[in-house]
Structure 1
């Protein structure tokens, strides 16, 4: 099983290094509000991946894929949420940068990371279509172990993205730069929404 687990970890790494909604959103949060907010978002995404993995491995993921209306409802809800975040990125960039509240601020970005991931049905699709191909025995214990490895790899990649993007945050505190980047972030989030709408991103 160790060889299969290593191969799966490598495949997970390659998949997570491919830009997608989670990576783009976390980079935007870290660049706009700093590493603390970005890492809170990473924790939310990690919890979302864990919950989706449990749901998918218990058989509910296949149910979602078998019901096109349910899959599409989740996908379009994710699109709407990304558009809402784009509007907020643009509007908040027109306001002065306030201090990030240690509790409420962290919870806010954690919650957004969680919701963003739960509304991305492609993450559940990974557990249903990719993960089973690496299992050596069809047991729930092994499936949960592989799922945990995927969450760990994804979290490490997302954490690295946040740490890199967070280095740009001090540069964006000037009002003129903040307004310009607010527009850029809004456009990027609209692009992510379009990406999810097309159904091509994991």
Structure 2
């Protein structure tokens, strides 16, 4: 049985981490209005969905060939979460797998779609982390799509909350001291998930 709750928690930890992705949506909404922000969200969601579907297809095909790959993927998943935790702790990069553009002159929906579709970090996240929440570590395409949909829904919900509450969350995201505390708390939680993946690999 798929551990949707566990996967959703892992996605939530990553998506809640303050970074350029959040700041871009808030700044865009405040400067150009909610319509621009919602347009960007639409592109981001479609790009994430397409990226996730392709990643799920790749993971299901690769892992179906050899069950022994599951251990290696677990180690890679642990490394992936550790990397995201390190970026969140430093605050010097986008911790979210869905990095978005910051050039406001671009057509926001198209830019959000293209950048998320071609984002290798998003693909690596799905390919390595998703199988950790499947009993045998070998997800079928249907199982993968269910988890991909869960991830996109969580990301889009957070993005909508940012755009609709841009004025209120600006103080948190733009105040580096507060954002640093949030990032570091979430980074520690991500390390906990990474440790679980590593333990699972050698269990």
When normalised by structure 1's length, the TM-score is 0.56
Equivalent residue, structure 2, for 1:30: 29
Work out the CA distance in 1 between the residues paired with 2:135 and 2:150: 15
In 2, Cα distance between equivalents of 1:161 and 1:47:
18
Q: Distance in 1 between matches of 2:154 and 2:49?
A: 12
Task: Give the aligned partner of residue 162 of structure 2.
Answer: 161
Match of 1:6 in 2: 5
When residues 168 and 59 of structure 1 are mapped into structure 2, their CA distance, relative to the original with a 3 A threshold, is: closer
Instruction: Please give the residue correspondences for 1:11-160 in structure 2 after superposition, counting only pairs within 5 Å.
Output: 11-59=10-58, 82=101, 85=103, 88=105, 108-136=107-135, 138-160=139-161
Distance 1:18 1:32 in 2: 23
The alpha-carbon distance between structure 1 residues 119 and 26, as it changes in their structure 2 partners (threshold 3 A), is: farther
Poorly superposed stretches of 4+, deviation over 6 Å: 60-63
How far did residue 163 of structure 1 move? 1.3
**Is the Cα contact below 8 Å between 1:61 and 1:124 reproduced in 2?**
no
Q: How many residues align?
A: 131
Question: How far is the alpha carbon of 1:23 from its aligned partner?
Answer: 2.3
Q: Which has the larger radius of gyration?
A: 1
- Please report how far the alpha carbon of residue 19 of structure 1 lies from its aligned counterpart in structure 2 after TM superposition: 2.5
CA distance in 1, matches of 2:49, 2:14: 17
Q: What TM-score results when the alignment is normalised by the length of structure 2?
A: 0.56
**Aligned in 2, Cα 1:60/1:14: closer, same or farther, shift over 3 Å?**
closer
Tell me, in whole angstroms, the C-alpha distance in 2 between the residues paired with 1:41 and 1:126.
Answer: 22
Q: Which consecutive unaligned segments of at least 5 residues does structure 1 have?
A: 64-80, 90-107, 170-202
Deviation at 1:25, TM superposition (A): 2.2
The RMSD of aligned alpha carbons is 3.0
